[in-house]
Amino acid sequence: MKFNNLTSEQEDVIVHKATEAPFTGEYNDFFNEGTYVCRRCSNPLFSSTAKFHFGCGWPSFDDHFPGSVRRVSDTDGARTEIICAQCNGHLGHVFEGENMTAKNTRHCVNSLSIQFIPKHK
C-alpha cells in the first residue's frame, strides 16, 4: 500500500497515536460540503453531512462510511480508539450515549488525521 507523505506532526498522531491540542485543528470549526479522507492513505472516512458541532475542540462525526473505520480498545482501557480500516492509522476515539445526535455516537477525530475533499458542483 502506498502512503501519502506526512509532516512530523501528522505522523505523531496517525502512526504514534498522539493527540493534537484541542481547538487547534483546521477542521474543528469547518463545515463545508464534501468528504473527509484518511490523510495517510486517502481512504474515504466521513461525509460532511455526518459532521456536527460538539464544542470539544476536535471535529465530531456521528457516522462513517461503511467499512472505513475500525474500533479497537485503547491502551488506557477506558476509551475506544478509532482507526482507518485500510491503513490502521489513528483517527481519534468514539463515544456513545451522549445524546448529541439521533445516532447517539460521536467520532472525535484529530484534524491532523484527516484531509477534506470538497464536493464538486
Is 108 annotated as catalytic?
Answer: yes
- pLDDT for position 5: 96
- pLDDT for position 121: 63
Total domain count for the chain? 1
3, part of any domain: no
12, part of any domain: yes
Q: Can you give the pTM of this predicted structure?
A: 0.94
CATH assignment at residue 113: 2.170.150.20
- pLDDT for position 120: 83
67, part of any domain: yes
Q: Which residues of the chain have pLDDT under 70?
A: 121
71, part of any domain: yes
94, part of any domain: yes
Q: What separation in angstroms does the CA of 50 have from each of 3, 11, 21, 47, 57?
A: 26, 25, 22, 6, 17
How is residue 20 annotated by DSSP? P
pLDDT tens-digit map of 81-102: 999 999 999 999 999 999 999 9
- pLDDT for position 98: 94
- pLDDT for position 76: 79
- pLDDT for position 75: 79
**Segments forming the whole domain that contains residue 48:** 8-118
2, part of any domain: no
